[in-house]
Structure 1
Amino acid sequence: MASSSSSEPAVEETRNWLELPPELMAMILHRLGAIDILTVAQKVCMTWRNICKEPAMWRTIDMQNLGDLWDMEYDLEIMARHAINRSCGQLVDINVEYFGTDELLQYITDRTSHLRRLQLVCCYSVSGEGLSEAAKKLPLLEELHLYYCSLSKEAIETVGRCCPLLKSFKLNDKGFIHPHIESDEEALAIAENMPELRHLQLFGNKMTNQGLQAILDGCPHLESLDLRQCFNVSLVVNVGKRLSEQIKDLWRPYDSTADYGFDSQIHDHESSDEDYPSGFSDTDFLSDNDEYYEFSGASDFSDYEGLFYD
């Protein structure tokens, strides 16, 4: 009698992503970041597009990019404004890299007073005055993280006074050995105006032991302190002992920077700073009406108000 064993190939089980619950799909899509959502994900299908238009998707806006603004097809500032509009006032967390301006900060603070976290990376067009004006409208801000952004003592003081809930502050620069410059202005402004800090990162700061002592005195709740590449700080016996007693997580000036995630090269007077482009290229951008519009570097964004709304 012939064998009855089947020789049919096994059928592979496939997953239909459209059958996932909208809440789960939103969580997956959100991991892409704002740029990929706006330029890729929302164009896949109508289901994904509808999810990408929900205000809850834009409570956190991550505009992380590689800084190659001249080669980009899109104008990131216009894209950021579109994402902010989609949040419908629910925005609580935004990360802007390389293209932030005073005008963009004003746009953010005019549309939400609930911001808890703001991160700016290499935003050379953000001034101390612009950040100060923004801080006055952000009483709930808990985290302010600044990388390679110029910030005056007065701006730090304003942030401290206007953001009493601030728990995490990062003011990071490039570490320089030469020329040897000492300055405690920033450290003293932090010590005198940010008493509720729990986490402080001052990568590459020019403060001395005097500034460090002031921070330890003025920020009694401090739990973590990052002093990497703060080469004017000397952790002598008394200072080192106090740090070990008061600070739970400590990074010393010469500790490894492998986990830092940004430029950690030590510079000297012969090194030239890297040039980060701050201009914007012309762009074609997909609107909610599935049409392309050209923006020729216009500075008056009022011309485009409501452009991305249905």
Structure 2
Amino acid sequence: MEVGSTRSWDELFPDALGLIFKNLPLQELLTVVPTVCKSWGKAVMGPYCWQEIDIEEWSNRSEPGTVERMLRMLITRSSGSIHKLCVSGLQNELVFSLIAENARSLRILRLPRSNMSDSIVEKIAGSLSMITFLDLSYCYKIGARSLEAIGEHCKQLEGFRRNMHPLITEDKLSQDDEAHAIATTMPNLKHLEAAYLHINTIGALEIIRSCPNLKYLDLRGCWQVKLDEEYLKDKFPNLTVLGPYVVDQYERNNDDYEDWSDFSDSLYDYESSDDDDNRFGELEFRFYQQSDEDATYGWPQSP
């Protein structure tokens, strides 16, 4: 190549294309990019575009079966190179096993609103040893057993989100066993969200005293927790505690957050707006599958 000449886009290496394409919306990445040229189609089929899989927003308004088919396809394409995975509302135990089988590079895992059980978490926790941030908010079928399994196997865990919905957990008598599990098995936590978790003051203090690196603790809606602000300021000057009284999420100090994930989510279930639906819509699964005749990258026309 002559000095001063530039490389054509279709001549870029797949890893370079992956870095560029990962910034595109999911729909364009799956339906538009592959139609441009063979090299772009090949890049989308390979692992470089899928080291970060974030379909949480889309999965919140899609059918569970469609979400699971999409996730299986993307995980297969990633070839075990996933660093970040965000998806909501998983229902099938086999999908959790698939995630665990491809988790050797996984650092950030967000599975809110998923229908997992203590038994499945105990089964897969050993494969999540590299996790640094985990979100199991609104997963109502798991409890202290799951948290203990995670804490025992995920020694690098620094951020944990276990927010609950106040209307669904209002009948629970206590979740202090979860607070104890966090305190005794997750000593390296820096960021913990436990909004509307039914814990008391003893449980909250056990977490604070057992996690010396803790910088941020979200206790909004934990009405049984009564903390002495002067005591916290004196004994734990680097700790920011939010709650138990509920404040607007935009009152948070963003400087207290690490860049594990997007910590600005609402505590309530996601409700898509009409604008969101018009912008993204329901992707049809036929766009995602590569047919037997696709050897020449004859991708379907983009919508």
The TM tier, using the shorter chain, reads 0.7 to 0.9
Q: Distance in 2 between matches of 1:147 and 1:35?
A: 26
Q: Distance in 2 between matches of 1:154 and 1:180?
A: 17
More deviation, 281-290/60-69: 281-290
Q: What is aligned with 1:147?
A: 137
More deviation, 110-119/214-223: 110-119
* Residues 1-310 of structure 1 aligned to structure 2 (within 5 Å): 18=9, 21=12, 25-32=17-24, 34=26, 36-64=28-56, 65=58, 67-70=60-63, 75-123=66-114, 125-150=115-140, 151-175=142-166, 181-237=173-229, 240-241=232-233, 245-247=237-239, 249-259=240-250, 260-264=264-268, 283-289=285-291
Equivalenced residues, count: 258
Give per-residue Cα distances to partners, 1:226-262, cap 9 Å, x unaligned: 1122222123355544575241x33222242334423
Contact 2:91 2:116 in 1 (8 A): yes
More deviation, 22-31/88-97: 22-31
Give the secondary structure class of the aligned counterpart of 1:139: coil
Aligned structure 1 segments of 4 or more residues deviating by more than 4 angstroms: 17-25, 33-36, 176-180, 237-240
Give the secondary structure class of the aligned counterpart of 2:162: strand
Give per-residue Cα distances to partners, 1:109-145, cap 9 Å, x unaligned: 223322211101211x222221221111122111111
Structure 1 residue identity aligned to 2:249: A
Query: Structure 1 stretches of 5 or more lacking a match?
Result: 1-16, 266-280, 293-310
Query: Structure 2 stretches of 5 or more lacking a match?
Result: 1-7, 251-263, 270-282, 295-303
Distance 1:69 1:163, change over 3 A: same
Q: Distance in 2 between matches of 1:50 and 1:283?
A: 19
Contact 1:105 1:134 in 2 (8 A): yes
Distance 1:190 1:286, change over 3 A: closer
Structure showing the higher strand proportion among its residues: 1
Deviation at 1:161, TM superposition (A): 0.5
Q: Distance in 2 between matches of 1:160 and 1:231?
A: 25
Normalised by the length of structure 1, the TM-score is 0.72
Structure 1 residue identity aligned to 2:125: A
Structure showing the higher helix proportion among its residues: 2
- Taking every aligned residue pair, what percent have the same amino acid on both sides? 26
Structure 1 residue identity aligned to 2:157: L
Q: What is aligned with 1:11?
A: none
Contact 1:175 1:230 in 2 (8 A): no
Q: Distance in 1 between matches of 2:27 and 2:95?
A: 16
Give the secondary structure class of the aligned counterpart of 1:147: coil
Q: Distance in 2 between matches of 1:25 and 1:258?
A: 36
Give per-residue Cα distances to partners, 1:12-53, cap 9 Å, x unaligned: xxxxx9479556643342123556523443344434312212
Distance 1:159 1:228, change over 3 A: same
Give per-residue Cα distances to partners, 1:202-231, cap 9 Å, x unaligned: 121111111111001211111111112222
Give the secondary structure class of the aligned counterpart of 1:75: helix
Give the secondary structure class of the aligned counterpart of 2:111: strand
Larger Rg: 1
RMSD over equivalenced CA pairs, Å: 3.1
Q: Distance in 2 between matches of 1:141 and 1:108?
A: 12
Q: Distance in 1 between matches of 2:28 and 2:110?
A: 19
Q: Distance in 2 between matches of 1:114 and 1:216?
A: 30
Q: What is aligned with 1:276?
A: none
Distance 1:173 1:239, change over 3 A: farther
Contact 1:34 1:83 in 2 (8 A): no
Give the secondary structure class of the aligned counterpart of 1:173: coil
Structure 1 residue identity aligned to 2:95: L
